[in-house]
Amino acid sequence: MAKEKTVYVCSNCGQDSPKWVGKCPSCGEWNTYVEEIVRKEPTNRRPVSGIETQKPKPLALSDIEADDEPRINMHDDELNRVLGGGLVPGSLVLIGGEPGIGKSTLVMQTVLHMPEKKILYVSGEESARQLKLRADRLSDTSSDCLIVCETSLEQIYVHIKNTNPDLVIIDSIQTISTESIESSPGSIAQVRECSASILRFAKETHTPVLLIGHINKEGSIAGPKVLEHIVDTVLQFEGDQHYMYRILRSIKNRFGSTAELGIYEMRQDGLRQVNNPSELLLSQDHEGMSGVAIASAIEGIRPFLIETQALVSSAVYGNPQRSATGFDLRRMNMLLAVLEKRVGFKLAQKDVFLNIAGGLKVNDPAIDLPVISAILSSNMDAAIEPEVCMAGEIGLSGEIRPVNRIEQRIGEAEKLGFKRFLLPKYNLQGIDTTKLKIELVPVRKVEEAFRALFG
């Protein structure tokens, strides 16, 4: 007989303890332990998947075959790029995002464009009729995707055994439960046990599995952090619901780069891939407006131009406000300190608001120069010429440090018709300027950049 017992589990990292503790010894968070009832199974219990596998034997590294497996084409250039070139057979991919952001829409849209694969779509949240209505809204093409509404992990394995699919989609992992644990679906123990079991199934049968996960109010994927450690790839689907852009970002990827970015536009008939984000992220009518600078940024392998907006005004109250949307606030405070100390602009009693247009979050240090240019443009109420683009990292001594892949940044600006490009002086080495139609303005310090922009 199985024995029931009570354990306390950290809701942040999944660490368990036989008694309640105030501070988690693993992650250091306070008051995160919650009580859960678990049932201890006998050690000779058969695996829940019911798949008979041979016990592995130790092999010499030279005896292991490591041929490159052909990746599965998802028929979506943005998704393929973020995954690292396509879906790897036997991989477990987690797609997380806030409610209503479009996770199920993205997955269903992808499924409808893969008629050559047999796909099993397991829905624990929506009925088959709801999925049919969404599929009709997204595409007119018919797909042989198999739909089953099920929340029991054991029954899901029965359906997989009967249908033998090429790809399994589970929407969502928080609704799935196994009979071996008494706690409710969505609890830490259930999420951890179900994910580990699905991972074993994926590796043993070389069947790729897509999991959809929820985001909690803190902004992280619901369930313990161990869920992110179990899966092979974690994709974050993010974006403000008030903006039409959605960004697919790779947080963890065992089969590719985590610096890749996919951009979609939310429309009535689904998500449209944005192959050239620069044209969408630039407003066409900022001529004569102060506080706007165009930055040439790179996310992953793709360069794109973004609009950096700043507003500087006198502080109405005692403490000046500092606010940044899409940019690290601490880095903005550092740049303001550099401006005050090295260049002599008095911004201590000014409110400074910074915004990256389009709802993007950018981590590229090369947009330091556009940020301070936009701030000073707003402070002096002097507009930057609309045909000027720039890139450069700012050091603490006020110097403009070189950035990587400058040729791609210049090429993107030239393609969109910009006439001048401000770049760090060191980056000018090795660039063939004879073939360029854009004027390169090398700058070494912040003062030189301001003289080039404002005269």
Binding residues for ATP: 97-104
Binding residues: 97-104
CA–CA separation, 374 and 382 (whole Å): 10
- Residues belonging to the chain: 455
Phi first, then psi: give them for residue 72, nearest 5 degrees. -85, 125
CB 439 within 8 A of CB 393: no
Peptide bond into 127 cis (omega under 30): no
Residue closest to 351 by CA, chosen among 382, 377, 375: 375
